[in-house]
Structure 1
Amino acid sequence: MSDSNTLPKTRFNPVALAGLLLVLIVGMIAMGKHQRDEAPHVAIEVRQERALHFSDGPQGEVLVIDARQNETIDALYGEQGFLRQTLRALVRERLRRGLDQSEPFWLQQLHNHHLALFDPVTQTRIDLMAFGPSNSQVFARWLDSPSQP
Protein backbone atom coordinates (compact mmCIF):
# COMPACT_ATOMS: atom_id res chain seq x y z
CA MET A 1 0.00 0.00 0.00
CA SER A 2 1.33 3.44 -0.90
CA ASP A 3 1.08 6.48 1.27
CA SER A 4 -1.06 9.14 -0.46
CA ASN A 5 0.70 11.95 1.41
CA THR A 6 4.05 11.11 -0.09
CA LEU A 7 4.92 12.67 -3.43
CA PRO A 8 7.53 11.17 -5.68
CA LYS A 9 10.85 12.89 -5.22
CA THR A 10 12.37 14.52 -8.27
CA ARG A 11 16.08 14.62 -8.27
CA PHE A 12 17.86 17.52 -9.89
CA ASN A 13 21.27 18.88 -9.42
CA PRO A 14 21.24 22.70 -9.04
CA VAL A 15 24.81 22.93 -10.34
CA ALA A 16 23.87 20.98 -13.47
CA LEU A 17 20.82 23.20 -13.96
CA ALA A 18 22.94 26.36 -13.64
CA GLY A 19 25.47 24.90 -16.08
CA LEU A 20 22.74 24.12 -18.61
CA LEU A 21 21.39 27.65 -18.28
CA LEU A 22 24.87 29.08 -18.81
CA VAL A 23 25.40 26.96 -21.94
CA LEU A 24 22.06 28.15 -23.34
CA ILE A 25 22.89 31.81 -22.70
CA VAL A 26 26.35 31.55 -24.27
CA GLY A 27 24.86 29.73 -27.26
CA MET A 28 22.23 32.41 -27.80
CA ILE A 29 24.84 35.17 -27.59
CA ALA A 30 27.07 33.37 -30.09
CA MET A 31 24.17 32.89 -32.51
CA GLY A 32 23.24 36.57 -32.23
CA LYS A 33 26.81 37.70 -32.89
CA HIS A 34 27.08 35.36 -35.86
CA GLN A 35 23.85 36.72 -37.36
CA ARG A 36 24.96 40.33 -36.79
CA ASP A 37 28.32 39.67 -38.48
CA GLU A 38 26.58 38.24 -41.53
CA ALA A 39 24.10 41.11 -41.88
CA PRO A 40 24.34 42.64 -45.34
CA HIS A 41 25.94 46.06 -45.48
CA VAL A 42 23.65 48.57 -47.10
CA ALA A 43 25.40 51.06 -49.35
CA ILE A 44 24.85 54.58 -48.07
CA GLU A 45 25.00 57.48 -50.48
CA VAL A 46 27.33 60.17 -49.16
CA ARG A 47 26.80 63.64 -50.63
CA GLN A 48 29.68 65.39 -48.92
CA GLU A 49 32.42 64.32 -46.53
CA ARG A 50 35.54 65.51 -44.80
CA ALA A 51 38.30 63.55 -43.09
CA LEU A 52 39.00 64.87 -39.60
CA HIS A 53 41.40 64.18 -36.78
CA PHE A 54 40.58 65.27 -33.25
CA SER A 55 43.17 65.81 -30.55
CA ASP A 56 43.56 67.45 -27.18
CA GLY A 57 45.22 70.86 -27.23
CA PRO A 58 47.68 72.20 -24.65
CA GLN A 59 44.93 74.04 -22.72
CA GLY A 60 42.44 71.16 -22.72
CA GLU A 61 40.69 72.31 -25.86
CA VAL A 62 39.63 69.90 -28.61
CA LEU A 63 41.54 70.57 -31.82
CA VAL A 64 39.73 69.73 -35.05
CA ILE A 65 42.22 69.00 -37.82
CA ASP A 66 41.53 68.60 -41.52
CA ALA A 67 43.22 65.25 -42.22
CA ARG A 68 43.96 65.99 -45.89
CA GLN A 69 45.57 69.38 -45.31
CA ASN A 70 46.87 68.57 -41.82
CA GLU A 71 45.65 71.99 -40.68
CA THR A 72 43.66 72.96 -37.60
CA ILE A 73 40.21 74.16 -38.63
CA ASP A 74 38.77 74.72 -35.16
CA ALA A 75 39.65 74.70 -31.48
CA LEU A 76 36.83 74.06 -29.02
CA TYR A 77 37.16 75.30 -25.47
CA GLY A 78 34.91 74.45 -22.56
CA GLU A 79 33.03 71.29 -21.82
CA GLN A 80 31.78 70.27 -25.29
CA GLY A 81 30.06 67.26 -23.70
CA PHE A 82 28.34 65.87 -26.80
CA LEU A 83 31.45 66.18 -28.96
CA ARG A 84 33.71 64.61 -26.36
CA GLN A 85 31.33 61.72 -25.62
CA THR A 86 30.85 60.95 -29.31
CA LEU A 87 34.58 60.89 -29.98
CA ARG A 88 35.26 58.93 -26.80
CA ALA A 89 32.83 56.20 -27.93
CA LEU A 90 34.56 55.86 -31.32
CA VAL A 91 38.08 55.88 -29.87
CA ARG A 92 37.12 53.41 -27.15
CA GLU A 93 35.86 50.95 -29.79
CA ARG A 94 39.16 51.18 -31.67
CA LEU A 95 41.10 50.61 -28.45
CA ARG A 96 38.89 47.70 -27.43
CA ARG A 97 39.63 45.97 -30.73
CA GLY A 98 43.32 46.94 -30.75
CA LEU A 99 42.95 48.88 -34.01
CA ASP A 100 44.87 51.74 -35.60
CA GLN A 101 44.28 55.09 -33.88
CA SER A 102 45.90 57.21 -36.60
CA GLU A 103 43.16 56.93 -39.23
CA PRO A 104 40.85 59.96 -39.46
CA PHE A 105 37.13 59.93 -38.84
CA TRP A 106 34.84 61.01 -41.68
CA LEU A 107 32.20 63.66 -41.19
CA GLN A 108 29.53 62.86 -43.78
CA GLN A 109 26.39 64.44 -45.10
CA LEU A 110 24.19 61.60 -46.31
CA HIS A 111 21.64 61.56 -49.11
CA ASN A 112 18.80 62.11 -46.62
CA HIS A 113 20.55 65.26 -45.33
CA HIS A 114 21.48 63.49 -42.12
CA LEU A 115 24.89 64.17 -40.71
CA ALA A 116 27.02 61.22 -39.60
CA LEU A 117 30.42 60.62 -38.12
CA PHE A 118 31.94 57.50 -39.69
CA ASP A 119 34.89 55.47 -38.46
CA PRO A 120 36.34 53.57 -41.43
CA VAL A 121 38.48 51.44 -39.11
CA THR A 122 35.56 49.90 -37.16
CA GLN A 123 32.88 50.59 -39.80
CA THR A 124 30.86 52.43 -37.13
CA ARG A 125 28.58 55.24 -38.27
CA ILE A 126 26.93 57.55 -35.74
CA ASP A 127 23.87 59.41 -37.00
CA LEU A 128 24.42 62.81 -35.41
CA MET A 129 20.94 64.02 -36.32
CA ALA A 130 19.51 61.44 -33.92
CA PHE A 131 20.82 63.59 -31.07
CA GLY A 132 19.00 66.72 -32.20
CA PRO A 133 19.84 69.71 -34.39
CA SER A 134 21.88 71.60 -31.81
CA ASN A 135 24.18 68.62 -31.24
CA SER A 136 24.58 67.87 -34.94
CA GLN A 137 25.42 71.54 -35.62
CA VAL A 138 28.53 71.12 -33.46
CA PHE A 139 29.87 68.96 -36.30
CA ALA A 140 28.04 70.44 -39.32
CA ARG A 141 30.10 73.62 -39.46
CA TRP A 142 33.23 71.62 -40.38
CA LEU A 143 31.93 70.29 -43.69
CA ASP A 144 32.74 73.52 -45.52
CA SER A 145 34.90 75.27 -42.95
CA PRO A 146 38.16 76.72 -44.28
CA SER A 147 41.37 76.15 -42.35
CA GLN A 148 42.43 78.64 -39.69
CA PRO A 149 45.81 80.36 -40.05
Structure 2
Amino acid sequence: MREFSVPERVGGFGALAAAGAVIWPTVTAGTGLGIPCLLRTVTGIPCPACGLTTAAVALVRGRWDLALQANPLIFGLAAVTVASGVLVALRAAGVLAPPRPWSSAQRRQTGWAAGLLAIVSWLFQMHRLQPDIF
Protein backbone atom coordinates (compact mmCIF):
# COMPACT_ATOMS: atom_id res chain seq x y z
CA MET A 1 0.00 0.00 0.00
CA ARG A 2 1.46 3.33 -1.00
CA GLU A 3 1.65 6.53 0.99
CA PHE A 4 -0.43 9.49 -0.14
CA SER A 5 1.08 12.95 -0.55
CA VAL A 6 -0.17 15.95 1.42
CA PRO A 7 -2.13 17.33 -1.57
CA GLU A 8 -3.67 13.89 -2.08
CA ARG A 9 -4.70 13.77 1.58
CA VAL A 10 -6.20 17.26 1.41
CA GLY A 11 -7.98 16.21 -1.78
CA GLY A 12 -9.33 13.14 0.00
CA PHE A 13 -10.68 15.39 2.73
CA GLY A 14 -12.24 17.57 0.03
CA ALA A 15 -13.89 14.54 -1.57
CA LEU A 16 -15.36 13.57 1.80
CA ALA A 17 -16.52 17.16 2.31
CA ALA A 18 -18.20 17.11 -1.10
CA ALA A 19 -19.96 13.85 -0.29
CA GLY A 20 -21.03 15.30 3.05
CA ALA A 21 -22.29 18.46 1.34
CA VAL A 22 -24.54 16.32 -0.85
CA ILE A 23 -25.86 14.26 2.09
CA TRP A 24 -25.96 16.89 4.86
CA PRO A 25 -29.01 18.90 3.67
CA THR A 26 -31.07 15.69 3.54
CA VAL A 27 -30.02 14.73 7.07
CA THR A 28 -30.77 18.15 8.53
CA ALA A 29 -34.09 18.45 6.67
CA GLY A 30 -35.17 15.00 7.79
CA THR A 31 -34.10 15.29 11.42
CA GLY A 32 -34.01 19.01 12.11
CA LEU A 33 -30.63 18.46 13.71
CA GLY A 34 -27.54 20.45 12.95
CA ILE A 35 -24.05 20.62 14.37
CA PRO A 36 -23.17 24.14 15.45
CA CYS A 37 -19.62 25.44 15.61
CA LEU A 38 -18.50 24.64 19.16
CA LEU A 39 -16.16 27.65 19.41
CA ARG A 40 -18.82 30.07 18.20
CA THR A 41 -21.48 28.50 20.45
CA VAL A 42 -19.32 28.73 23.57
CA THR A 43 -17.49 32.03 22.98
CA GLY A 44 -19.46 33.86 20.30
CA ILE A 45 -16.27 34.02 18.24
CA PRO A 46 -16.26 32.26 14.85
CA CYS A 47 -13.53 29.78 14.02
CA PRO A 48 -11.45 30.03 10.81
CA ALA A 49 -13.54 27.20 9.32
CA CYS A 50 -16.90 28.81 10.10
CA GLY A 51 -19.08 28.71 7.04
CA LEU A 52 -17.27 25.82 5.34
CA THR A 53 -20.26 23.49 5.60
CA THR A 54 -22.55 26.18 4.22
CA ALA A 55 -20.02 26.97 1.49
CA ALA A 56 -19.62 23.28 0.54
CA VAL A 57 -23.38 22.77 0.30
CA ALA A 58 -23.72 25.94 -1.79
CA LEU A 59 -20.87 24.89 -4.07
CA VAL A 60 -22.25 21.41 -4.82
CA ARG A 61 -25.59 23.07 -5.59
CA GLY A 62 -23.90 25.45 -8.04
CA ARG A 63 -24.43 28.54 -5.88
CA TRP A 64 -20.94 29.97 -6.23
CA ASP A 65 -22.03 33.37 -4.92
CA LEU A 66 -23.31 31.89 -1.64
CA ALA A 67 -20.23 29.70 -1.31
CA LEU A 68 -17.99 32.75 -1.70
CA GLN A 69 -19.96 34.68 0.91
CA ALA A 70 -19.87 31.83 3.43
CA ASN A 71 -16.17 30.92 3.18
CA PRO A 72 -13.92 31.53 0.15
CA LEU A 73 -11.56 28.74 1.28
CA ILE A 74 -14.00 26.26 -0.23
CA PHE A 75 -12.78 27.18 -3.71
CA GLY A 76 -9.19 26.33 -2.79
CA LEU A 77 -10.31 23.05 -1.27
CA ALA A 78 -12.37 22.27 -4.38
CA ALA A 79 -9.41 23.02 -6.66
CA VAL A 80 -7.06 20.81 -4.63
CA THR A 81 -9.70 18.07 -4.60
CA VAL A 82 -10.06 18.05 -8.38
CA ALA A 83 -6.29 18.27 -8.96
CA SER A 84 -5.51 15.53 -6.46
CA GLY A 85 -8.12 13.26 -8.06
CA VAL A 86 -6.24 13.61 -11.35
CA LEU A 87 -2.93 13.10 -9.54
CA VAL A 88 -4.11 9.91 -7.84
CA ALA A 89 -5.47 8.56 -11.14
CA LEU A 90 -2.20 9.28 -12.96
CA ARG A 91 -0.17 7.65 -10.19
CA ALA A 92 -2.48 4.62 -10.15
CA ALA A 93 -2.06 4.29 -13.92
CA GLY A 94 1.71 4.38 -13.55
CA VAL A 95 2.07 7.64 -15.50
CA LEU A 96 3.49 9.47 -12.49
CA ALA A 97 5.87 8.16 -9.85
CA PRO A 98 4.73 7.78 -6.24
CA PRO A 99 5.18 10.85 -4.06
CA ARG A 100 8.50 11.54 -2.38
CA PRO A 101 8.63 12.52 1.29
CA TRP A 102 8.82 16.25 1.91
CA SER A 103 11.89 17.75 3.50
CA SER A 104 11.61 19.33 6.92
CA ALA A 105 11.89 22.77 5.25
CA GLN A 106 8.97 21.97 2.92
CA ARG A 107 6.88 20.74 5.85
CA ARG A 108 7.73 23.86 7.85
CA GLN A 109 6.84 26.17 4.94
CA THR A 110 3.57 24.34 4.42
CA GLY A 111 2.79 24.65 8.12
CA TRP A 112 3.42 28.40 8.02
CA ALA A 113 1.30 28.77 4.88
CA ALA A 114 -1.56 26.80 6.46
CA GLY A 115 -1.31 28.92 9.62
CA LEU A 116 -1.37 32.13 7.61
CA LEU A 117 -4.34 30.88 5.61
CA ALA A 118 -6.18 30.06 8.86
CA ILE A 119 -5.50 33.57 10.20
CA VAL A 120 -6.75 35.19 6.99
CA SER A 121 -9.85 32.98 7.05
CA TRP A 122 -10.47 33.82 10.70
CA LEU A 123 -10.18 37.56 9.98
CA PHE A 124 -12.65 37.13 7.09
CA GLN A 125 -15.09 35.34 9.40
CA MET A 126 -14.67 38.00 12.10
CA HIS A 127 -15.52 40.66 9.50
CA ARG A 128 -18.40 38.67 8.01
CA LEU A 129 -20.06 37.70 11.30
CA GLN A 130 -18.96 40.70 13.41
CA PRO A 131 -19.26 39.04 16.82
CA ASP A 132 -19.99 41.30 19.76
CA ILE A 133 -16.94 40.42 21.86
CA PHE A 134 -15.94 43.79 23.25
TM range (shorter): under 0.3
- Give 1 or 2 for the bigger CA radius of gyration: 1
| Higher strand proportion (structure 1 or 2) | 1
| Higher helix proportion (structure 1 or 2) | 2
The normalised TM-score by structure 1 is 0.23
